[in-house]
Amino acid sequence: MGTEPAIRCGPLPKPDMIPANPSPTQPVRWQALWRDAIREPQALLDQLGLGHLSHRVSAEATAQFALRVPQGFVARMRHGDPDDPLLRQVLPLVEETFSVPGFALDAVGDLPSSAANGVLHKYRGRALLVATGSCAVHCRYCFRRHFPYAEQTAAANDWESALAALTADTSIHEVLLSGGDPLSLSTEKLAQLTDRLRGVPHIRRLRIHTRLPIVLPERVDDELLTWLTRLPWPCAMVVHANHANELDENVFSAFARLHRSGVNLLNQSVLLKGVNDSVPALADLSERLFSGGVLPYYLHQLDRVSGAAHFEVSDTQALALHEQLCAQLPGYLVPRLVREVAGAAAKLPLASVTPATHHVSDSRYSM
């Protein structure tokens, strides 16, 4: 199976918990929806009326990083549109197999800074816990597509050494649950983890980086909300949507439930060619997020990970888009345009890392 991270999404429901014929009033458990995700490129294309596009799909890319997309996310794709911005994020195209100079396996320097226990402590005051390698959706541009999850997730170590590291370092005030997608763990497992952190006096905030409320909003169930409500710390949740079409009524309903449980909602996006590389796409996304009570946080310039070159937007174009977005929206709806630079003290504003030859008024950028 190549380097596909093992799918460890927490215990699946016991067979006796899934009635053979669920009654229509019974909510479908998120684990069942997770399990029913589409994994065959041809099945996805057929379902969208795009069966004739199979030559655009790479078996090699699929073997390296499997296709995975929940049915509910596919339902938001436009039928018959090969350029659908949601489809583009998940379809393993032949372009992924092209070798492009500058696109490497560990684009953000995670490997040198990672402790074997799944804790990444790159920035002052906050440490990121790679809680699991699993995700409900496989995003083709993801910088973690080559990450050696099996060895480096905290769960692989039974949490002990990760918890020990977080407990010992009194400079850590914020714990970020990340992955993979931390909400792919069972709520029970999440509660075990936060119960262990409860007594640690230097921890003041919890943050959760997750795409699940977007791609599988059913994950935001009563059990999860109960866990969130009982957390002893203020909690920020950074969701990940790249295009307004990702935000349907089910997602808004998940946002509303999260709000009611006291969670502060932010969004991060990746600037992706063919997905959101236009001012209208970015403005629509911000406006739609806000109508669901979510503030835009970061717009990431793509990490130059091998296989993702066809998503790259040039820095010049990125800065121009961002400047136009600033001219169009209130400041609080403009995400910070950043790039991750190995060894830097924070995510850096793109304007500060781009060579001085850049002029934002110069619109003659190449696509």
Q: 273: buried, middle or exposed (CB in 10 Å: 19+, 13-18, 0-12)?
A: middle
Instruction: Please compute, for residue 230, the number of CA atoms within 13 A of its CA located in the half-sphere on the CB side.
Output: 13
Per CB under 6 A, contacts with ligand PLP among 123-142 are 123, 126, 128
Per CB under 6 A, contacts with ligand SF4 among 155-214 are 179-181, 211
**Nearest distance in Å: CB 107, ligand PLP:** 12
Per CB under 6 A, contacts with ligand PLP among 298-357 are 346-347
Q: Residue 138 touches which of ligand SF4, ligand PLP, none (CB < 5 to 8 A by kind)?
A: ligand SF4
**Nearest distance in Å: CB 120, ligand PLP:** 4
CA 227 and chain centroid, separation: 21
**In degrees rounded to 5, what are phi and psi of residue 69?**
-155, 125
**Nearest distance in Å: CB 137, ligand SF4:** 5
CB atoms inside a 10 Å sphere around CB 105:
13
**Nearest distance in Å: CB 48, ligand PLP:** 33
CB atoms inside a 10 Å sphere around CB 110:
21
Per CB under 6 A, contacts with ligand PLP among 60-99 are none
Binding track over 149-178 against ligand PLP, x by CB under 6 A? ---------------------------x--
**In degrees rounded to 5, what are phi and psi of residue 127?**
-125, 140
Q: Given the complex with ligand SF4, which of 8 and 138 has the nearer CB atom?
A: 138
Per CB under 6 A, contacts with ligand PLP among 198-217 are none
Q: What is the 3-state secondary structure (H, E, C) of 114-158?
A: ECCCCEEEEECCEEEEECCCCCCCCCCCCCCCCCCHHHHCCHHHC
CA distances (Å), origin 173, targets 28, 169, 205, 280: 37, 9, 6, 38
CA distance 166 to 202: 9
**Nearest distance in Å: CB 124, ligand PLP:** 9
CA distance 333 to 342: 28
**Residue 285 lies near ligand SF4 (rule: CB under 6 A):** no
Number of residues that bind ligand SF4 (CB under 6 A): 11
Q: Which residues bind ligand PLP (CB under 6 A)?
A: 120, 122-123, 126, 128, 176, 346-347
Q: Which residues bind ligand SF4 (CB under 6 A)?
A: 135, 137-139, 142, 144, 179-181, 211, 240
